[in-house]
Structure 1
């Protein structure tokens, strides 16, 4: 398939050059525009089905409540577990074959796999396809790597901040859109729609993404990650950002299993709980969409690590009150502020990775970061479910705030030398 994609890319070379010569937008900005849409759709592809995944599984057989919860958990986690395992492999291939080729592989593979989920007849087929979806991961990490190497270094923070809003917004808006579509058209149609849109992402990437600043690194010439880290100026920052990414995702996803149940409790079991839950789940995406590029530009001016630390302090302050809200409107306002804090977190992590990673290993470093991100995606719901089962829904927000505190001191330690350098 990789050879076919390479051939298709060469066939349109003349058309691409014509388009390139007749556009006023800098090429890296065109890449950013297309990859933002791609990240948005991939984010939706991973989250669109969450509001009705259990309901869809329930139509695929006769399950007890225990069995339904078990298969729902397996279907949710399967993708992220596979992503955590295979991401480093795709990262090595990206450094030797190019990031654009990996973007094409991921978008085409996900388009076919997610579209096929609408045809399954039993839960085993669905879980198998969810695992296969993880195999075709790597769009977001390679989009980050491509922008990190193509955008001017002085604008990398702003560019990566903008790019991250695509994934974050798609992930957070996906449940609302998925719930609405499933409510109107049924559970299978969202899979077909998502597969079609990801196929559109494939063709947009094929025709309009240009990778100029790439020097292939033959597989036999690629050094081991241990040796690579020994050559980095700030290896502790790279490792620190891996762990930070995992904790950020665990914090965000720890709320996922209980959010709709918490909303139902605040609404005393009456009203349109599902719709309100979808709105509350999506509100942070709006704030992140607006704030992330601005925080990225601010980080370029005053230091990315400072914006990251400030974002963690703010996150801690907005998570704690969510445990004590009395109505859903208070929760909605605080969730909006969570979106503001999110805008100061993951985009800054991506910017730090971009600024302190060598160009010849950017693909591998971002793919390792995606593995840690996926581990956080798996850990978060397990933490949220366990804490809520033992201490109630409100306690999940307190445990999440505790995770943020741990993350703050971790970042404070891992960026100590960097902050000292900037103060000189």
Structure 2
């Protein structure tokens, strides 16, 4: 078996385990904030947005640094650093005495994260262009599959063992991810340049500057749109369920619905990207996702929301993998880590912006407006991609 295939299997498992651990936190975060003493619903949504999003703001600052380190020292060391650091930090969240300490630990988590980015860079640099779409599509299902199981598992853990146990078990899962990577991932890393290039020098060697900037902006906008609803889903489910005693479990199922759809659709959309072009797939997915957000504001119960989140997962499965495919194809292999680092920085800024934005809009205008504004952002992004990406790449075919 070729090395890239072996590493794809190991990285898939590592991201899968890490994603289970990370996604367990999302549906219980508002409940944990309430457990820490915040009782007002508007305050819970605002603190949830900050606590969820601040990790990604800090990650945006550190992601290019870790991307540069990956090009200098190798991708495997970055995978090991991120998984071990997150295992320790997230485990400590279970001991947080108040919401401010929790936010502080989320900031620290952002500074040491980067597991998925390093894995993506490793696979992208070891895979030939003919299989890049398939490999990155399959790799994306690891995060999706983990996200599928994680929220439901987090809901079960909350009901059986309590909120704090979610953070302790997440730490253990990330430690497992560290151990499997240490033992099984193989990297024949050869640094292509002894000189550490500055940001200006890196930028001067990128052949498709305008297209690269466009993909960064696209990734940012995607992240804003897709993560604007993350902090408020649990609160929305609580409203729809009339204060049921199983809120964490229902919220976990709602989170998981889109993950199930993603894992079904992502490999096929990755192969389709290799055949017809990632730019065509991303345009269709943007339009579909933008439309599906609208009816989520009008649902009458959690089960209807769950069904629409499943459809959203089908539509959004081709978005971020398509961005990675396009960047991989237009970036020299020696700069892949740096470029992916900047790309993830844009994505992290988008996640932070979306999470805080969604939390604030929900607190000021109401939850339904988050879905309307998110839909508008995705459809506007579709127009941007059509004129800036599709027309350009279609002419080159």
Q: Deviations over 1:175-204 (max 9, x none)?
A: 222121122112222222222221221121
Question: What's the offset of the Cα at 1:267?
Answer: 4.0
- Find out whether 1:76 has 2:52 as its counterpart: yes
Inter-CA distance 151–227: structure 2 relative to 1 (3 Å threshold): same
Q: 2:249 aligns with which of 275, 278, 294?
A: 275
Choose which of 146, 164, 176 in structure 2 pairs with 1:188.
164
Shift of 1:367: 1.1
Shift of 1:95: 0.8
Q: Work out whether 1:31 is the aligned partner of 2:7.
A: yes
Deviation at 1:405, TM superposition (A): 1.3
**Which residue matches 1:358?**
332
Which range moves more in the overlay, 320-329 or 397-406? 320-329
Which of 68, 72, 81 is 1:105 aligned to? 81
Kept after mapping to 1: 8 A contact 2:71/2:338: yes
Considering only aligned residues, what root-mean-square deviation do their CA atoms show, in Å? 2.3
Partner of 1:302: 276
| CA distance 1:41–1:227, change in 2 (3 Å) | same
Residue 175 of structure 1 corresponds to 151
Q: 1:217 to 1:123 in 2, by over 3 A?
A: farther
Asked if structure 1 preserves the Cα contact closer than 8 Å seen for 2:15 and 2:177, the reply is: no
Q: Which has the larger radius of gyration?
A: 1
Residue ranges of structure 1 left out of the alignment (5+ in a row): 1-24
Aligned 8 A contact 1:97 1:216 in 2: no
Is the Cα–Cα contact under 8 Å of residues 45 and 114 in structure 1 kept in the other structure? no
**Distance in 1 (alpha carbons) for counterparts of 2:28 and 2:349:** 23
1:8-58 CA-partner distances (Å, limit 9, x unpaired): xxxxxxxxxxxxxxxxx3221111111112222333343322333344345
Partner residue in 1 for 2:175: 199
Once the two structures are TM-superposed, the CA of residue 376 in structure 1 deviates from its matched residue by 1.3
Alignment pair present for 1:92 and 2:30:
no
Name the SS for the 1:52 alignment partner.
helix
Q: 2:115 aligns with which of 139, 143, 150?
A: 139
Shift of 1:168: 3.1
* Structure number with higher relative contact order (C-alpha < 8 Å, ≥ 6 residues apart): 2
CA separation in 1, counterparts of 2:103 and 2:361?
Answer: 26
**Secondary structure, counterpart of 2:230 in structure 1:** coil
Compute the displacement of 1:122 (Å). Answer: 4.6
Distance 1:128 1:297 in 2: 41
Structure 2 unaligned segments of length 5 or more: list them: none
The 3 A distance-change label for structure 1 pair 328 and 202 is: closer
The CA distance in 2 between the partners of 1:128 and 1:267, in whole Å, is 32
2:213 counterpart residue number = 239
Q: For this pair of structures, how many residues does the alignment match?
A: 395
Query: Out of 212, 228, 244, which is 2:188 matched to?
Result: 212
TM normalised by structure 2 equals 0.91
Other structure's SS at 1:222 match: coil
Q: Is the 8 A contact 1:95 1:360 kept in 2?
A: yes
For 1:347, the equivalent position in structure 2 comes to: 321
